[in-house]
Structure 1
Amino acid sequence: MESEVAHKDATDQLLRPAGFKLDDWPAFSAAIEQAAELFGRMLGKLVTGELTIEVAEVVAGPAGNLIDQDQAYVTNVVHAPGWDAKLLVGTSRNSALRVVEMFFGGSGPADGLAVDRDCSRIELAAVGLMFRYLAAVLQSSFAPIADPEMEPGTCVDEVILDDLGGPEEPIVIVRLACVLMEQNIEVFIAVAQRTLSAVGDPLRMVVEDAAEASDPKWSEHFDRQFRRADVDLTAVMDGGALTLDEVSRLRAGQVLELEATVDSLIKVDCNGHPMLWCRLGQADGSFMLKVEQFFDAEQDLMEELLTATAVKN
């Protein structure tokens, strides 16, 4: 107990100089904890062996003090249009290479082994997939309180603090500690303090402890309503992309050719998360979708990497 109090006091001391105190943002803290748990579950499906992920620390201060630009990082800018802001997620290059090896069943480079080279295109694609999952769990975890939309950009082999507002910009950085097969991996999430202040009260809400608020009748009612809740599903027939130039030249009545055929699988998403692969059919004069299989994250990873390799060649 004393060690926990000492840790909390130490954290508060780190946060106070930058004018940010974690105790003032309980909903933000709860959402980050939930995101870490969901992130661990998603990554656990892609690797072999036991994986643990927890929030190591949440600190605040100038971006240049908290993120060493002289260190080799792999990063991804996550756009949050609803917050009118950008988040920066990243990991060290060594950690990135460990992630890539573990995705393919390896044990990863040894701790302390420095790798003095840029990441390859296929390695960036693998780490980019991890960041995509991180953006998805952040969106899911913050949705009940701040309704964000997280759109990950391109994974790059560098860190650009201008995306957060520059080296002097006060930020809050969350460090996630991941341990897999005795390998240590750190992933960070950085956001400008002004972004959190702009979102405001929803992130400051007190999250009531579930044990204290337990009411059997209410829990039964909530569970019953939850099971009856409506969700929006999106069926994606063709995932092709158009350039801005192609979009600007579209005309009313123009016919767009799809690469999909009648035999192509259709991906069904829920809130941006892929769930099912289906086939298109007809019944009683209406179109229908027949569930073929559940979405396989590992298979998706392999297809992403094969696509990246094909582009490179």
Structure 2
Amino acid sequence: MSGMQNANDIRDMLLDSAGLSIDRLPMLHVIFDRMSTSCAEHLRHMAASPMYYSLSGIESGRISEILEMYEANAVAAIFHAPDWDSHILIGFDRDFIYTMVEVLFGSDGSEPPVEEARGFSNIELRMAQVLFEQVAKALQASFSLVSDTKFKLERLETRMDFAVIGRRNNQAVAAKFLLQALNRGGEMFVIIPQSALNPMRKVLSRVVSGESTSRDPRWMKQMASEVQKTEITLTAVLEERFLSLGEIADLKLGQVIELQATPRSRVKLEGNQQGLFWCHIGQADGSYVLKIDEPIDQEKEFLDDVLAR
């Protein structure tokens, strides 16, 4: 037993030093895609201006190298993941903070973007903390596909050399997200130490069945509601006749075109040039009315049209 344990320890040490292969962990993409969708849905309820949130990429590297790119240009939140016995980091770069402030405080984008490299204000840090907590909830819900854990906010850092979630030369996975709004945008990043993901390697190496195409019930309900509000023009077609271009060119003012239809003939009810129902025409209160008889067989209608032409 001890020999097997030692073999496992050696294998884990080799994996830690080599780094995780993102290509072999497709479930990470599913998790971060779900997180991106959840964040976008939450932001839609917070701001009047449209915002677009997307996963721009996942990479691996040493924690120090990843954080070095954001030094003096971001604010980071350190979260404790007790079930993983680890910490994770979520960060917003300066452009993300500036864009979110404008969006949440009602800017229309007419003012030029802020490019001043200054320290973050108390309002900006307070707003960032609220967003960090929402993002952590989205990440927790997305990771529930493979592992249940809670992320507890410990502190915010504006200096990346103080954003400690383990030894700085340790390997980690970083997911980067792009925010676009008001013709500008910014970046959010999530850093998870490889040591926290190693125990989940097997489940992360395969996509959980059906989860990559899961639907957000609130979003589906909203889509259905908006689609049902769409206005469509209905057209009642008493009869159709096919004429050649020559016959149409010979038509003259006052000429009478005879129809085979009678008051008892069925009327085709169309919407957007698509046949919907067969109806009968009648009168009520001095107006013409239609009584729906049956839906139109689309396949049969198509074949009939082809044969008629």
What TM-score bracket applies, with the shorter chain setting the length? 0.5 to 0.7
1:157-206: per-residue Cα shift (whole Å, max 9, x none)? 23246522233221110000111121111000001111110333333333
1:38-70: per-residue Cα shift (whole Å, max 9, x none)? 011011211122111111010111122222253
Q: Does the CA contact (< 8 Å) of 2:96 and 2:179 recur in 1? A: no
Where does residue 50 of structure 2 map in the other structure?
50
Q: Does the CA contact (< 8 Å) of 2:157 and 2:163 recur in 1? A: no
C-alpha separation in 2, matches of 1:103 and 1:153 = 25
Note if 1:193 corresponds to 2:194. Answer: yes
Q: Which amino acid aligns with 1:51?
A: M
1:241-293: per-residue Cα shift (whole Å, max 9, x none)? xxxxxxxxxxxxxxxxxxxxxxxxxxxxxxxxxxxxxxxxxxxxxxxxxxxxx
Point out where structure 1 has 5 or more consecutive residues left out of the alignment. Answer: 1-16, 214-313
Say if 1:151 and 1:30 are closer, same or farther in 2 by CA, change over 3 A: same
Q: Does the CA contact (< 8 Å) of 1:100 and 1:127 recur in 2? A: no
Residues 198-277 of structure 1 mapped to structure 2, 5 A cutoff: 198-208=199-209
Say if 1:58 and 1:210 are closer, same or farther in 2 by CA, change over 3 A: closer
2:155 match: secondary structure: coil
Q: Which amino acid aligns with 1:148?
A: T
Where does residue 60 of structure 2 map in the other structure?
60
C-alpha separation in 2, matches of 1:191 and 1:146 = 14
Where does residue 102 of structure 2 map in the other structure?
101
C-alpha separation in 2, matches of 1:41 and 1:50 = 11
1:67 match: secondary structure: helix
C-alpha separation in 1, matches of 2:168 and 2:73 = 16
Task: Tell me the TM-score normalised to structure 2 length.
Answer: 0.57
Q: Does the CA contact (< 8 Å) of 1:49 and 1:180 recur in 2? A: yes
Q: Give the CA deviation at 1:210.
A: 6.7
C-alpha separation in 2, matches of 1:210 and 1:157 = 36
C-alpha separation in 2, matches of 1:212 and 1:88 = 27
Q: Which moved more, 1:163-172 or 1:100-109?
A: 100-109
2:91 match: secondary structure: strand
Q: Does the CA contact (< 8 Å) of 1:89 and 1:131 recur in 2? A: yes
Where does residue 129 of structure 2 map in the other structure?
128
2:157 match: secondary structure: coil
C-alpha separation in 1, matches of 2:28 and 2:94 = 28
Say if 1:172 and 1:181 are closer, same or farther in 2 by CA, change over 3 A: same
Q: Give the CA deviation at 1:79.
A: 1.3
Say if 1:18 and 1:174 are closer, same or farther in 2 by CA, change over 3 A: farther
Q: Give the CA deviation at 1:154.
A: 2.9
Q: Which moved more, 1:143-152 or 1:35-44?
A: 143-152
Task: Tell me the TM-score normalised to structure 1 length.
Answer: 0.57
Where does residue 27 of structure 2 map in the other structure?
27
Identity %: 21
Say if 1:162 and 1:73 are closer, same or farther in 2 by CA, change over 3 A: closer
Where does residue 224 of structure 1 map in the other structure?
none
Specify the structure having the higher radius of gyration (Cα): 2
Say if 1:197 and 1:182 are closer, same or farther in 2 by CA, change over 3 A: same
Note if 1:175 corresponds to 2:176. Answer: yes
Say if 1:106 and 1:155 are closer, same or farther in 2 by CA, change over 3 A: farther
Q: Which moved more, 1:85-94 or 1:171-180?
A: 85-94
Note if 1:79 corresponds to 2:77. Answer: no
Note if 1:138 corresponds to 2:121. Answer: no
Q: Give the CA deviation at 1:143.
A: 1.3
